[in-house]
Protein backbone atom coordinates (compact mmCIF):
# COMPACT_ATOMS: atom_id res chain seq x y z
CA UNK A 1 0.00 0.00 0.00
CA UNK A 2 1.52 3.33 -1.10
CA UNK A 3 2.28 6.00 1.52
CA UNK A 4 3.24 8.51 -1.18
CA UNK A 5 0.77 11.16 0.03
CA UNK A 6 1.87 11.23 3.66
CA UNK A 7 3.11 14.78 4.30
CA UNK A 8 2.73 15.93 0.69
CA UNK A 9 1.71 19.55 0.07
CA UNK A 10 -1.19 19.85 -2.39
CA UNK A 11 -2.43 23.05 -4.01
CA UNK A 12 -5.97 22.49 -5.26
CA UNK A 13 -8.13 24.83 -7.31
CA UNK A 14 -11.88 24.35 -7.14
CA UNK A 15 -11.78 22.76 -3.68
CA UNK A 16 -15.18 24.25 -2.78
CA UNK A 17 -16.89 22.29 -5.57
CA UNK A 18 -18.42 18.83 -5.44
CA UNK A 19 -15.39 16.84 -6.63
CA UNK A 20 -12.94 19.20 -4.97
CA UNK A 21 -14.53 18.81 -1.54
CA UNK A 22 -14.45 15.01 -1.82
CA UNK A 23 -10.80 15.23 -2.87
CA UNK A 24 -9.96 17.33 0.20
CA UNK A 25 -11.37 14.61 2.47
CA UNK A 26 -9.57 11.86 0.56
CA UNK A 27 -6.26 13.72 0.84
CA UNK A 28 -6.82 14.21 4.57
CA UNK A 29 -7.21 10.45 4.94
CA UNK A 30 -4.00 9.91 2.97
CA UNK A 31 -2.02 12.31 5.17
CA UNK A 32 -1.55 15.22 2.76
CA UNK A 33 -1.95 18.90 3.59
CA UNK A 34 -4.16 20.98 1.28
CA UNK A 35 -4.18 24.61 0.25
CA UNK A 36 -7.49 25.28 -1.47
CA UNK A 37 -8.03 28.13 -3.93
CA UNK A 38 -11.56 28.70 -5.25
CA UNK A 39 -14.64 30.87 -5.33
CA UNK A 40 -17.04 30.77 -2.40
CA UNK A 41 -18.98 27.50 -2.21
CA UNK A 42 -22.67 27.20 -2.84
CA UNK A 43 -24.73 27.24 0.36
CA UNK A 44 -25.63 23.60 -0.14
CA UNK A 45 -23.07 21.05 -1.16
CA UNK A 46 -20.33 18.75 -0.03
CA UNK A 47 -17.95 21.50 1.09
CA UNK A 48 -20.31 22.91 3.72
CA UNK A 49 -22.04 19.62 4.56
CA UNK A 50 -18.71 18.15 5.70
CA UNK A 51 -17.05 21.29 7.10
CA UNK A 52 -14.17 21.04 4.62
CA UNK A 53 -13.03 24.62 5.27
CA UNK A 54 -11.93 23.66 8.78
CA UNK A 55 -10.26 20.42 7.67
CA UNK A 56 -7.68 21.80 5.24
CA UNK A 57 -4.47 23.71 5.88
CA UNK A 58 -5.50 26.90 4.06
CA UNK A 59 -8.72 28.09 2.44
CA UNK A 60 -8.26 30.89 -0.12
CA UNK A 61 -11.33 32.51 -1.68
CA UNK A 62 -10.18 33.92 -5.02
CA UNK A 63 -10.56 33.66 -8.79
CA UNK A 64 -8.11 31.55 -10.81
CA UNK A 65 -8.18 34.27 -13.49
CA UNK A 66 -6.31 36.61 -11.11
CA UNK A 67 -2.80 35.55 -12.17
CA UNK A 68 -0.79 37.61 -9.68
CA UNK A 69 -2.81 36.44 -6.68
CA UNK A 70 -2.79 32.87 -7.95
CA UNK A 71 0.97 32.85 -8.56
CA UNK A 72 1.64 34.25 -5.08
CA UNK A 73 -0.57 31.57 -3.50
CA UNK A 74 1.17 28.77 -5.42
CA UNK A 75 4.63 30.03 -4.49
CA UNK A 76 3.62 30.41 -0.86
CA UNK A 77 2.31 26.82 -0.79
CA UNK A 78 5.39 25.30 -2.46
CA UNK A 79 3.28 22.31 -3.53
CA UNK A 80 4.44 18.83 -4.40
CA UNK A 81 1.22 18.44 -6.42
CA UNK A 82 -1.20 20.89 -8.04
CA UNK A 83 -4.69 19.56 -8.78
CA UNK A 84 -6.59 21.94 -11.03
CA UNK A 85 -10.33 21.35 -10.70
CA UNK A 86 -11.77 24.88 -10.83
CA UNK A 87 -14.13 25.20 -13.79
CA UNK A 88 -17.50 26.26 -15.08
CA UNK A 89 -18.67 22.67 -15.29
CA UNK A 90 -22.31 22.76 -16.43
CA UNK A 91 -23.28 22.17 -20.06
CA UNK A 92 -26.54 24.13 -19.98
CA UNK A 93 -24.95 27.07 -18.13
CA UNK A 94 -22.34 27.27 -20.88
CA UNK A 95 -25.09 28.20 -23.33
CA UNK A 96 -26.20 31.04 -21.03
CA UNK A 97 -22.65 32.35 -20.49
CA UNK A 98 -20.30 31.08 -23.21
CA UNK A 99 -17.78 33.91 -22.75
CA UNK A 100 -17.51 33.32 -19.01
CA UNK A 101 -17.23 29.58 -19.59
CA UNK A 102 -14.29 29.98 -21.99
CA UNK A 103 -12.66 32.60 -19.78
CA UNK A 104 -12.75 30.32 -16.75
CA UNK A 105 -12.00 27.00 -18.42
CA UNK A 106 -9.39 28.05 -20.98
CA UNK A 107 -7.75 31.18 -19.56
CA UNK A 108 -8.14 29.90 -16.00
CA UNK A 109 -6.25 26.73 -16.91
CA UNK A 110 -3.57 28.78 -18.69
CA UNK A 111 -3.06 30.88 -15.57
CA UNK A 112 -2.78 27.84 -13.29
CA UNK A 113 -0.06 26.48 -15.57
CA UNK A 114 1.63 29.86 -15.74
CA UNK A 115 1.61 30.08 -11.94
CA UNK A 116 3.30 26.67 -11.79
CA UNK A 117 6.20 28.08 -13.82
CA UNK A 118 7.24 30.06 -10.74
CA UNK A 119 8.08 26.86 -8.85
CA UNK A 120 11.68 25.76 -8.54
CA UNK A 121 11.11 22.31 -7.00
CA UNK A 122 9.59 19.14 -8.53
CA UNK A 123 5.80 19.27 -8.85
CA UNK A 124 3.10 17.21 -10.56
CA UNK A 125 0.30 19.24 -12.15
CA UNK A 126 -3.00 17.45 -12.77
CA UNK A 127 -5.38 19.30 -15.10
CA UNK A 128 -8.89 17.89 -14.73
CA UNK A 129 -10.99 18.09 -17.88
CA UNK A 130 -13.87 15.83 -18.99
CA UNK A 131 -14.91 12.94 -21.20
CA UNK A 132 -16.74 15.52 -23.32
CA UNK A 133 -13.53 16.90 -24.88
CA UNK A 134 -13.70 14.39 -27.73
CA UNK A 135 -15.18 15.05 -31.16
CA UNK A 136 -18.34 13.02 -30.76
CA UNK A 137 -20.06 11.48 -33.82
CA UNK A 138 -22.07 9.39 -31.30
CA UNK A 139 -20.66 6.10 -32.51
CA UNK A 140 -20.77 2.89 -30.48
CA UNK A 141 -17.02 2.80 -29.91
CA UNK A 142 -15.72 4.23 -26.60
CA UNK A 143 -13.26 7.11 -26.81
CA UNK A 144 -9.55 6.47 -26.36
CA UNK A 145 -6.95 9.08 -25.42
CA UNK A 146 -5.59 9.25 -28.97
CA UNK A 147 -9.00 10.19 -30.44
CA UNK A 148 -9.50 13.67 -31.85
CA UNK A 149 -10.54 16.50 -29.55
CA UNK A 150 -13.48 18.39 -30.95
CA UNK A 151 -16.11 21.07 -30.69
CA UNK A 152 -19.63 20.69 -29.40
CA UNK A 153 -21.50 22.69 -26.79
CA UNK A 154 -19.58 25.65 -25.31
CA UNK A 155 -18.64 23.72 -22.15
CA UNK A 156 -17.18 20.75 -24.04
CA UNK A 157 -15.33 23.00 -26.48
CA UNK A 158 -13.88 25.11 -23.67
CA UNK A 159 -12.53 21.98 -21.97
CA UNK A 160 -10.99 20.81 -25.24
CA UNK A 161 -9.36 24.24 -25.37
CA UNK A 162 -8.06 23.71 -21.84
CA UNK A 163 -6.49 20.45 -23.02
CA UNK A 164 -4.72 22.23 -25.89
CA UNK A 165 -3.41 24.89 -23.50
CA UNK A 166 -2.18 22.16 -21.14
CA UNK A 167 -0.38 20.38 -23.99
CA UNK A 168 1.14 23.67 -25.20
CA UNK A 169 2.55 24.61 -21.80
CA UNK A 170 3.83 21.09 -21.23
CA UNK A 171 5.68 21.05 -24.55
CA UNK A 172 7.03 24.59 -24.55
CA UNK A 173 7.63 25.45 -20.90
CA UNK A 174 7.85 22.25 -18.85
CA UNK A 175 9.64 19.75 -21.11
CA UNK A 176 12.87 18.64 -19.49
CA UNK A 177 11.97 20.27 -16.16
CA UNK A 178 10.79 18.84 -12.85
CA UNK A 179 7.28 20.24 -13.44
CA UNK A 180 5.33 17.32 -14.87
CA UNK A 181 1.89 17.91 -16.33
CA UNK A 182 -0.99 15.59 -17.24
CA UNK A 183 -4.64 15.90 -18.27
CA UNK A 184 -7.25 13.55 -16.80
CA UNK A 185 -10.69 12.88 -18.27
CA UNK A 186 -13.47 11.34 -16.20
CA UNK A 187 -16.92 10.11 -17.10
CA UNK A 188 -20.23 11.29 -15.64
CA UNK A 189 -19.45 11.49 -11.95
CA UNK A 190 -22.06 10.96 -9.24
CA UNK A 191 -21.88 10.95 -5.46
CA UNK A 192 -23.24 12.58 -2.33
CA UNK A 193 -23.13 16.32 -1.81
CA UNK A 194 -23.72 17.45 -5.40
CA UNK A 195 -26.58 19.96 -5.62
CA UNK A 196 -25.80 21.45 -9.04
CA UNK A 197 -28.81 22.21 -11.19
CA UNK A 198 -29.55 20.29 -14.38
CA UNK A 199 -27.57 17.22 -13.29
CA UNK A 200 -29.35 13.91 -13.09
CA UNK A 201 -28.56 12.80 -9.55
CA UNK A 202 -29.04 16.17 -7.82
CA UNK A 203 -32.31 16.61 -9.75
CA UNK A 204 -33.41 13.15 -8.58
CA UNK A 205 -32.48 13.76 -4.96
CA UNK A 206 -34.25 17.12 -4.77
CA UNK A 207 -37.39 15.57 -6.23
CA UNK A 208 -37.26 12.47 -4.02
CA UNK A 209 -36.82 14.52 -0.85
CA UNK A 210 -39.78 16.70 -1.84
CA UNK A 211 -41.89 13.71 -2.88
CA UNK A 212 -42.45 14.81 -6.47
CA UNK A 213 -41.58 13.12 -9.79
CA UNK A 214 -38.17 13.96 -11.19
CA UNK A 215 -38.27 15.30 -14.76
CA UNK A 216 -35.93 13.39 -17.10
CA UNK A 217 -34.68 15.38 -20.12
CA UNK A 218 -32.95 12.77 -22.26
CA UNK A 219 -33.96 9.32 -21.03
CA UNK A 220 -32.17 7.37 -23.77
CA UNK A 221 -28.86 9.24 -23.55
CA UNK A 222 -26.03 6.86 -22.56
CA UNK A 223 -23.18 8.01 -20.31
CA UNK A 224 -20.17 6.44 -18.54
CA UNK A 225 -21.48 6.85 -14.98
CA UNK A 226 -19.11 6.39 -12.02
CA UNK A 227 -18.88 7.23 -8.34
CA UNK A 228 -16.78 10.31 -7.62
CA UNK A 229 -14.22 8.34 -5.60
CA UNK A 230 -13.20 6.23 -8.60
CA UNK A 231 -11.84 9.05 -10.80
CA UNK A 232 -10.35 10.81 -7.76
CA UNK A 233 -8.40 7.61 -7.13
CA UNK A 234 -7.26 7.84 -10.75
CA UNK A 235 -6.13 11.47 -10.47
CA UNK A 236 -4.04 10.66 -7.39
CA UNK A 237 -2.55 7.64 -9.13
CA UNK A 238 -1.50 9.85 -12.07
CA UNK A 239 0.15 12.36 -9.73
CA UNK A 240 2.14 9.62 -8.03
CA UNK A 241 3.11 8.22 -11.43
CA UNK A 242 4.30 11.63 -12.65
CA UNK A 243 6.57 11.94 -9.64
CA UNK A 244 8.00 8.45 -10.02
CA UNK A 245 11.40 7.72 -11.53
CA UNK A 246 9.75 5.82 -14.38
CA UNK A 247 8.03 8.88 -15.87
CA UNK A 248 9.28 10.18 -19.22
CA UNK A 249 8.36 13.25 -21.27
CA UNK A 250 7.73 10.82 -24.12
CA UNK A 251 4.70 9.32 -22.34
CA UNK A 252 1.32 10.51 -23.59
CA UNK A 253 0.21 12.72 -20.66
CA UNK A 254 -3.54 12.07 -20.73
CA UNK A 255 -5.69 9.38 -19.18
CA UNK A 256 -9.35 8.40 -19.30
CA UNK A 257 -11.08 7.23 -16.13
CA UNK A 258 -14.43 5.57 -16.69
CA UNK A 259 -16.48 2.52 -15.75
CA UNK A 260 -15.83 -1.03 -16.88
CA UNK A 261 -16.70 -1.84 -20.48
CA UNK A 262 -20.41 -2.48 -20.70
CA UNK A 263 -21.17 -0.75 -17.40
CA UNK A 264 -22.39 2.50 -18.91
CA UNK A 265 -26.14 3.11 -18.77
CA UNK A 266 -28.92 5.34 -20.02
CA UNK A 267 -30.25 8.32 -18.09
CA UNK A 268 -33.57 6.54 -17.59
CA UNK A 269 -31.89 3.42 -16.22
CA UNK A 270 -29.87 5.41 -13.69
CA UNK A 271 -32.91 7.41 -12.60
CA UNK A 272 -34.96 4.24 -12.21
CA UNK A 273 -32.21 2.61 -10.12
CA UNK A 274 -32.05 5.67 -7.88
CA UNK A 275 -35.84 5.73 -7.46
CA UNK A 276 -35.95 2.03 -6.61
CA UNK A 277 -33.23 2.36 -3.97
CA UNK A 278 -34.81 5.50 -2.46
CA UNK A 279 -38.16 3.80 -2.21
CA UNK A 280 -41.43 5.41 -1.18
CA UNK A 281 -42.18 8.76 -2.80
CA UNK A 282 -39.60 8.41 -5.59
CA UNK A 283 -40.79 8.48 -9.21
CA UNK A 284 -39.71 9.80 -12.60
CA UNK A 285 -41.43 11.48 -15.54
CA UNK A 286 -40.38 12.68 -18.97
CA UNK A 287 -39.57 16.39 -19.17
CA UNK A 288 -40.60 18.75 -21.95
CA UNK A 289 -37.39 19.29 -23.94
CA UNK A 290 -38.89 21.42 -26.71
CA UNK A 291 -36.23 23.88 -27.91
CA UNK A 292 -33.73 22.56 -25.34
CA UNK A 293 -30.01 23.00 -26.16
CA UNK A 294 -28.29 20.03 -27.79
CA UNK A 295 -26.75 17.35 -25.56
CA UNK A 296 -25.00 14.27 -26.97
CA UNK A 297 -27.05 11.08 -26.98
CA UNK A 298 -24.17 8.62 -26.72
CA UNK A 299 -20.81 8.88 -24.95
CA UNK A 300 -18.57 6.01 -23.90
CA UNK A 301 -15.05 6.05 -22.46
CA UNK A 302 -12.20 3.55 -22.81
CA UNK A 303 -9.94 3.36 -19.73
CA UNK A 304 -7.61 0.63 -21.01
CA UNK A 305 -4.58 2.94 -20.91
CA UNK A 306 -5.10 3.73 -17.22
CA UNK A 307 -5.51 0.03 -16.45
CA UNK A 308 -2.30 -0.93 -18.25
CA UNK A 309 -0.02 2.00 -17.38
CA UNK A 310 -1.31 2.86 -13.91
CA UNK A 311 -2.87 -0.42 -12.76
CA UNK A 312 -6.00 1.60 -12.01
CA UNK A 313 -9.47 0.10 -12.06
CA UNK A 314 -12.89 1.26 -10.85
CA UNK A 315 -13.84 -0.03 -7.42
CA UNK A 316 -17.61 0.54 -7.56
CA UNK A 317 -19.66 -0.37 -10.63
CA UNK A 318 -22.66 1.70 -11.66
CA UNK A 319 -25.07 -0.22 -9.39
CA UNK A 320 -22.81 0.34 -6.38
CA UNK A 321 -22.23 3.95 -7.39
CA UNK A 322 -25.98 4.66 -7.38
CA UNK A 323 -26.47 2.80 -4.10
CA UNK A 324 -23.63 4.66 -2.35
CA UNK A 325 -24.90 7.98 -3.70
CA UNK A 326 -28.53 7.48 -2.70
CA UNK A 327 -27.46 6.32 0.77
CA UNK A 328 -25.45 9.54 1.23
CA UNK A 329 -28.49 11.71 0.43
CA UNK A 330 -30.81 9.55 2.54
CA UNK A 331 -28.40 9.92 5.49
CA UNK A 332 -28.17 13.67 4.90
CA UNK A 333 -31.97 13.92 4.79
CA UNK A 334 -32.11 12.24 8.22
CA UNK A 335 -29.87 14.94 9.68
CA UNK A 336 -26.91 12.65 10.41
CA UNK A 337 -23.21 13.59 10.67
CA UNK A 338 -22.23 13.74 7.00
CA UNK A 339 -18.52 14.13 7.69
CA UNK A 340 -18.42 10.83 9.53
CA UNK A 341 -20.60 9.14 6.93
CA UNK A 342 -18.48 10.46 4.04
CA UNK A 343 -15.29 9.25 5.72
CA UNK A 344 -16.86 5.79 6.06
CA UNK A 345 -17.45 5.69 2.30
CA UNK A 346 -13.95 7.06 1.64
CA UNK A 347 -12.27 4.53 3.95
CA UNK A 348 -14.15 1.63 2.37
CA UNK A 349 -13.10 2.80 -1.08
CA UNK A 350 -9.47 3.48 -0.13
CA UNK A 351 -9.12 0.07 1.49
CA UNK A 352 -10.53 -1.63 -1.61
CA UNK A 353 -8.19 0.39 -3.86
CA UNK A 354 -5.13 -0.47 -1.76
CA UNK A 355 -4.24 2.99 -0.43
CA UNK A 356 -2.50 3.47 2.94
CA UNK A 357 -4.76 5.49 5.23
CA UNK A 358 -2.85 7.84 7.53
CA UNK A 359 -3.11 7.27 11.27
| Per-residue pLDDT of the chain in tens (359 residues, 90 and over written 9) | 568 999 999 999 999 999 999 999 999 999 999 999 999 987 678 999 999 999 999 999 999 999 999 999 999 999 999 999 999 988 888 999 999 999 999 999 999 999 999 999 999 999 999 988 998 877 778 889 999 998 788 999 999 999 999 999 999 999 989 999 999 999 889 999 999 888 888 899 999 999 999 888 788 888 889 999 999 999 999 999 999 866 666 567 899 999 998 888 888 898 999 999 999 888 888 765 555 565 666 788 999 999 999 999 999 999 999 999 999 999 999 999 999 999 999 999 999 998 888 76
Distances, alpha carbon 338 to alpha carbons 30, 232, 291, 327, in Å: 19, 19, 39, 11
d(CA 267, CA 250): 39
User: Is the residue at 3 inside a domain?
Assistant: no
d(CA 132, CA 160): 8
Q: Given this model, what pLDDT does residue 242 score? A: 92
Looking at the 3D structure of the chain, how many domains does it have? 1
User: Is the residue at 319 inside a domain?
Assistant: yes
User: Is the residue at 238 inside a domain?
Assistant: yes
CATH number at residue 90: 3.40.50.720
156's CB contacts (< 8 A; 6+ apart) are 91, 130, 132, 133, 136, 150
Q: Given this model, what pLDDT does residue 79 score? A: 98
User: Is the residue at 358 inside a domain?
Assistant: no
d(CA 187, CA 231): 8
Q: Does residue 196 contact residue 18 with C-beta atoms inside 8 Å? A: yes
Q: Does residue 119 contact residue 175 with C-beta atoms inside 8 Å? A: no
User: Is the residue at 143 inside a domain?
Assistant: yes
Q: Does residue 104 contact residue 96 with C-beta atoms inside 8 Å? A: no
SS3 content of the chain, % helix, strand, coil (to 5): 45, 15, 40
User: Is the residue at 131 inside a domain?
Assistant: yes
User: Is the residue at 179 inside a domain?
Assistant: yes
Beta strands in 212-277 (DSSP E): 214-216, 222-223, 225-227, 254-257, 265-266
d(CA 179, CA 236): 16
- Per the structure, the complete domain to which residue 266 belongs is given by 9-337
Q: What is the value of pTM for the model shown?
A: 0.94
How many Cβ atoms from other residues are within 10 Å of residue 289's Cβ?
13
User: Is the residue at 76 inside a domain?
Assistant: yes
Amino acid sequence: MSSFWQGKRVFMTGHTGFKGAWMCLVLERLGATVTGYALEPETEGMFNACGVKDRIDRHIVADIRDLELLRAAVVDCQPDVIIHMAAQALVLDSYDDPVGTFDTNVMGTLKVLEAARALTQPCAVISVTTDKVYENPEQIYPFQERDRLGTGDPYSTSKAGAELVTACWRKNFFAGTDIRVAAVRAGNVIGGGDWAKNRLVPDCMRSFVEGRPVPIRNPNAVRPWQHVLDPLNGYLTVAEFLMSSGFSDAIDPSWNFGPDAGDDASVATMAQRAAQIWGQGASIEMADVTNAPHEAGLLRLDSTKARLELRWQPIWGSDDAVAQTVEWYRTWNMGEDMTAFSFTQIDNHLHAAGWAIAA
